[in-house]
Amino acid sequence: MKKMMASLLKHYMNQDIAVFHTDEEGNSEVVAYVSVNKNLSTTKKLEEAFMKTNSISIAWWKNEEVTTTFAGNSCRSTSVGDVVVVDEKKYKCEPVGWKEL
């Protein structure tokens, strides 16, 4: 029962945001949905998505808050040029910060 309540609470308090990786030709595909606290500012949501889709001490796709959608066994970390969608708005990862598209 505790596990079910924790899952319901997590769903109630969080939202999933989409992370798209862009290749050299400009093609992009969704590689993950990241669960973030829906009460955070947009900037904080973007930063959490970036952090949770970067391999630091473990492969990023092993994070509990990440649902992967990429094909294969691994995927590069989110980087400059990639796009994150929050509340139906697109944001491009810049060398410093984010730019709304």
pLDDT of residue 3: 63
Q: How far apart are CA 101 and CA 89, in angstroms?
A: 7
User: pLDDT under 50 in the chain at which residues?
Assistant: none
Q: How far apart are CA 56 and CA 12, in angstroms?
A: 28
pLDDT of residue 9: 61
Q: Give the end-to-end CA distance of the chain in Å, rounded to a whole number.
A: 43
pLDDT of residue 1: 62
Q: Give kind and range of the element (H or E) at residue 2.
A: helix 2-13
pLDDT of residue 21: 95
Nearest Cα neighbor of 38 from 85, 78, 87, 4 is 87
pLDDT of residue 27: 87
